[in-house]
């Protein structure tokens, strides 16, 4: 009887500690995934939008790659080389949770590059087209997407928002 009592006094706190550690690890991984996705998006989106000749919430995607056939949520024409388009696409790959991809279509219309930005996305209530909000900037001219705000939520984490603005003046 005394052995059972002592064993229980040791086993119960140990079990609680193990369960708490497992929950903490899951929360830590989720937070890390969100922070990583936000950092990638912040780096890519700011450069892409700033260097774009034109920005739109929809567009034509190029064929090929893992993320082919997804929903284009943002499309930009590059200011440098004519015909280069950068798209942000949400696509599920092989039945997995949705992934936000950055896809670059070359001058020949074929896929030149693709990078997975955020995995295990949670769809917004209004659908993927609600992921991006465009607003005009008076100093850019008649442009609906002078400023771009992209919001996403990674599985169970709080939403992350990244904002980027177009450069003022004509493209160089």
**Calculated CA dihedral for residues 154, 159, 165, 171, nearest 10 degrees:** 20
110-157 tens-digit pLDDT: 999 999 888 888 888 888 878 888 888 766 566 677 888 888 887 766
DSSP of 27-56: HHHHHHHHHHHHHHHHHHHHHHHHTEEEEE
CA angle 40, 98, 87 (to 5 degrees): 55
CA angle 46, 51, 53 (to 5 degrees): 130
Distance CA 146, CA 169 (A): 11
Domain boundaries, the chain: 3-165
Is residue 158 scored above 80 in pLDDT? no
Burial of 90 (0-12, 13-18, 19+ CB in 10 A): buried
Q: How many helices (H) and strands (E) does the chain have?
A: 1, 8
> How many CB atoms within 10 Å of residue 111?
19
60-118 tens-digit pLDDT: 889 988 888 889 999 988 877 777 899 999 987 666 688 889 999 988 889 999 998 88
CA angle 104, 105, 111 (to 5 degrees): 95
pLDDT of residue 27: 60
10-52 tens-digit pLDDT: 777 777 776 666 665 566 656 677 777 788 888 888 888 888 8
Can you list the alpha helix ranges (DSSP code H) found in the chain? 2-50
CA 46 vs CA 3, 35, 66, 90, 164: distances in Å = 64, 16, 24, 18, 5
Distance CA 62, CA 112 (A): 9
């Amino acid at each position: 009887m005394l052995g059972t009592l002592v064993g229980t006094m040791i086993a119960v706190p140990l079990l609680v500690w193990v369960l708490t550690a497992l929950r903490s690890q899951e929360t830590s991984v989720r937070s890390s995934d969100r922070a990583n996705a936000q950092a990638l998006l912040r780096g890519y989106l700011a450069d892409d939008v700033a260097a774009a000749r034109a920005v739109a919430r929809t567009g034509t995607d190029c064929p090929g790659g893992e993320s082919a056939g997804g929903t284009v949520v943002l499309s930009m024409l590059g200011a440098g080389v004519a015909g280069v388009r950068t798209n942000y696409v949400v696509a599920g790959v092989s039945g997995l949770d949705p992934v936000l991809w950055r896809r670059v279509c070359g001058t020949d219309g074929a896929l030149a590059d693709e990078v997975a930005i955020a995995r295990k996305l949670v769809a917004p209530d209004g659908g993927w087209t609600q992921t991006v909000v465009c607003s005009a900037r008076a100093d850019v001219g008649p442009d609906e997407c002078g400023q771009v705000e992209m919001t996403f939520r990674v599985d169970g984490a709080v939403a992350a928002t990244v904002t980027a603005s177009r450069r003022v003046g004509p493209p160089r």
